[in-house]
Amino acid sequence: MKKEQLFTRRRALLAGAAAAAAAGTAGVFVGGEDGEPVRAAAPAAGAPARSLPLKPSAYRLQPLTGYGPLPATPGRTPVRHEPLLSMTGRGRTMVLTFDDGPDSRYTPRILDTLAEYDVHAMFFVCGEMAVDNADLLTRMADEGHIIGNHTWSHPLLTRLTRRQIHSEMSRTSDVIEEGCGERPRWFRAPYGAWNRAAFQIGSELGMEPLAWTVDTLDWTTPGAGAIVDRVEKGAAPGVVVLSHDAGGDRSQSVRALSRYLPHLLDSGYHLTVPRRRYA
């Protein structure tokens, strides 16, 4: 599929999700095992207090609460009932994440900026993008970044069968393993649309679910200044920042990174990636 067609399809799905929000279903982004909607609640207790309040969007996750993780089995990834929203670490630790790539136009420029400041990030890649950019997967791994699974074609998982979800995830894990030598340990649902089947299948494939606490809304192309403002106002210990390196014109995201990254470092933030699985 051509990149232009992929972008058009994603915009159509995004418009549908936005229409649902306008109709009064905002916040319903976690589905049941077969895709039935489950009403989402406010962010779980313990989430960073200074995370930036944003209007609901198809990229803004409101997590399902009230359920804790199942007891972890030694040697196996636990089946969770909600995605992880933040990361623990010493001091003022934050995590930068980039979705939808890799894209040969924007990903190298993001990697260049991260290398300039000796910062590691997480890249949640789509299989159909990664298969044509295996060299970028290799570079990400070589430079110490974490590569996560963002499905093959970026669908709404709540509309898929279990078999389709498994195919979307497993095919992407195969491509990642080919490109960097190991299978991914993290996954993220497109549009923040999770369901129980996704959590279960992700666990079967050895992956933990990671969401975000600050949405840059860069997919709306609001301008580099607006992206910088959202990141800097939302900065707090444990925050996970959502940005994109593909899926459209991401030149604003590239420019914004070069502006907010040195400012965060000068403010005493430690930008890192998870080094262990959460239990």
Q: In the predicted model, is pLDDT for residue 168 greater than 50?
A: yes
In sequence order, the 6+-apart residues with CB closer than 8 A to the CB of 161 are: none
Q: How far is CA 53 from CA 18, 42, 85, 200, 203, in A?
A: 18, 12, 15, 30, 30
Closest-CA residue to 171 (of 151, 187, 156, 154): 151
Q: In the predicted model, is pLDDT for residue 6 greater than 60?
A: no
> What's the angle, vertex CA 221, arms to CA 160 and CA 184, rounded to 5?
45
Mean pLDDT, range 65-75, rounded to an integer: 37
- Asked if residues 75 and 99 have their Cβ atoms less than 8 Å apart, the reply is no
Structure tokens at 113: 């900026």
pLDDT of residue 10: 56
> Which of the following is catalytic: 103, 154, 244, 245?
244
Mean pLDDT, range 70-83, rounded to an integer: 69
> Which of the following is catalytic: 81, 99, 150, 166?
99
What type of residue is 48? P
- In b/e form, how buried is each residue of 128-157, taking b as 16+ CB within 10 angstroms? bbbbebeebbebbbeeebbbbbbbbbbbbb
Known active-site residue 81: no
Tell me the per-residue pLDDT of 135-161, one tens digit each, with 9 for 90 and over.
999 999 999 999 999 999 999 999 999
Confidence bin at 271 (pLDDT 50/70/90): very high
Give the phi and the psi of residue 267 in degrees, each rounded to 5: -85, 0
Tell me the per-residue pLDDT of 113-138, one tens digit each, with 9 for 90 and over.
999 999 999 999 999 999 999 999 99
81-279: what CATH class? alpha beta
Please give the model's pTM, rounded to 2 decimal places: 0.77
Known active-site residue 244: yes
Tell me the Ramachandran region of residue 218: left when phi exceeds 0, alpha when psi lies from -120 to 50, beta otherwise. alpha
What type of residue is 95? V
